Structure 1
């Protein structure tokens, strides 16, 4: 796998605070890589170091094989879309998209052709003469994307670009960004705190915590085999059971079945439990359980299974009921102590 960029031993500190610690990471060429994690995990600092807005305290950053650690942003040939889009309000859509080309002294006729081609790519060629204030949030985001792509960047950097959009537009723009990346073959690095966004859009996910990489891999791999409890918890594994040897088992809520106490055992987890709460949501129920794990610890478990899989009783289960919490072997993830 060819690397478009690489971090080697990169650390960024602010006084006694370490934002990124000894980061070793390869950004695969022609792929969409997401930096995923909670606020303060170092993902935005990592992106800004790649963009050249922050110089690392230690380590090396290479872009296309060349040392770019102390190269200023304008010398890196990178496109960037900010959370706020940062469009120029006094310029038209076409002028915004062509701004970087104008700085590079691209001739006017060629610039106009490239601008319209990039606006066509994002479906906004018909709005070329509008001002940003006349556009919706989704349209402004597309203009920001077109502007970043217009300069034919080595990498396209996206800093939480969907966070200001409503839920429907966020889902729509996920597929749009994915389509644009696929059609252009651009190397894209996306910062997000939204695990659904990362799972849907990524070729490679990089899960970060407290300035360190917790796990890197394809979305399906990270999702099905989280490396540790932090990654599992962040990706929605709510049920954690300690084993006698100190290791953990975890099961996603949608994989935890709730059956009668005399239900036939399955190959995997069969744990007697008591219902604490059961909430109807139409398609499924959220059932909260209390049980004792194999290490003798008191645990709370969450099941979000469809009503017709909860129990043979169509009315479901009620608080106080004794039940059997079950999960099949292939739906259980084993984590290190």
Structure 2
């Protein structure tokens, strides 16, 4: 698979602080790559270096096979959608979408045709003459996407574009973005702090912490095998314990199995763990219940665990009740770097 862009040993320092530290990322052509992590992890700084708004302190950025480390933003053939959308309120939707084409001196007839095609792509052809102020948040976002798509960019950069939308609209826009990418074959780099968004949209996800890449790969590669505790926690592994040999283990709440009887900690024949736990809290949620437990792990440490149990699988336990906590071997993740 061809890479649309590459970051090779890229570092960005602000004074003595390394916001991005020796990052290597290959961005595959025609795919969605997400930069994922908490605030301050370096993902937006990385995106801004790809865009050309920041120059790396060290390292190389290649776009389309050519060194673009110091190429001005307007020469990189990139489209960008900001968190605020940055639409011009005095312009119509059509004029907003055509703005980049006008700057590039695309002929008026071709500009009109490409604007119409792009608005149809995002489902807003009927609002070409409207002003942005009349549009919903989801519609404004689609105008911003259309404006970036219209210039036919080599790379589309999206900086937290869905963070201002409510939960229902975010779900809709994820589906829309996936559809648009599939229909156009765009190469997209998306910055997000939302693990669900990254898992749903990514062909490749890059998890960052403190300016460094912690793990990268497809969601199907990363999700079941987080490299370390940071990645595991960020992806929703809420249970951490230590095996008798000192190995750090993680398990997701939905993989914790409960039964009423209690046994001492042991290794079952399948290689999993069976632990005694005491119920600290039960929260009924209709289709499931969350059971918080106090458990002693095989290393002898007291740990808190969370079990997400489907309603009807077991009778809801009482607070203070002792239960058996079974952790199947296939669901235990061994963390290589805790």
**TM-score, length-scaled by structure 2:** 0.96
CA contact (8 A) 2:5 2:63 kept: yes
How many angstroms apart in 1 are the aligned matches of 2:87 and 2:7? 30
Deviations 1:291-321 (A, max 9, x none): 1111111100000111222x3xx3x101111
Give the corresponding residue for 1:88.
Answer: 88
CA contact (8 A) 1:155 1:186 kept: yes
Give the corresponding residue for 1:274.
Answer: 278
Give the corresponding residue for 2:312.
Answer: 308
CA contact (8 A) 2:138 2:169 kept: yes
Where do 1:231-242 residues align within 5 Å? 231-242=231-242
Where do 1:168-317 residues align within 5 Å? 168-262=168-262, 267=270, 268-309=272-313, 311=314, 314=315, 316-317=316-317
Give the corresponding residue for 1:158.
Answer: 158
Where do 1:39-118 residues align within 5 Å? 39-118=39-118
How many angstroms apart in 2 are the aligned matches of 1:21 and 1:326? 41
Deviations 1:142-187 (A, max 9, x none): 0000000000000000000000001000000001001000100010
How many angstroms apart in 2 are the aligned matches of 1:181 and 1:170? 16
Give the corresponding residue for 2:15.
Answer: 15
Pairwise CA distance, 1:331: 1.2
Pairwise CA distance, 1:262: 5.0
Count how many residue pairs are aligned between Structure 1 and Structure 2: 333
Deviates most, 167-176 or 289-298: 289-298
Deviates most, 119-128 or 281-290: 281-290
Relative to structure 1, the CA distance from residue 127 to residue 266 in structure 2 (aligned partners, 3 Å threshold; closer, same or farther) is: farther
Pairwise CA distance, 1:266: 7.0
CA contact (8 A) 1:266 1:326 kept: no
1:126 paired with 2:126, answer yes
Give the corresponding residue for 1:149.
Answer: 149
Partner SS, residue 91 of structure 2: coil
Pairwise CA distance, 1:269: 1.9
CA contact (8 A) 2:262 2:322 kept: no
Deviates most, 239-248 or 191-200: 239-248
- Uncovered stretches (5+) of structure 1, i.e. residues with no partner: none
CA contact (8 A) 2:11 2:23 kept: yes
Partner SS, residue 304 of structure 1: strand
Relative to structure 1, the CA distance from residue 266 to residue 82 in structure 2 (aligned partners, 3 Å threshold; closer, same or farther) is: farther
Deviates most, 250-259 or 116-125: 250-259
How many angstroms apart in 2 are the aligned matches of 1:110 and 1:254? 54
Give the corresponding residue for 1:136.
Answer: 136
CA contact (8 A) 1:266 1:328 kept: no
- Uncovered stretches (5+) of structure 2, i.e. residues with no partner: none
CA contact (8 A) 2:42 2:209 kept: yes
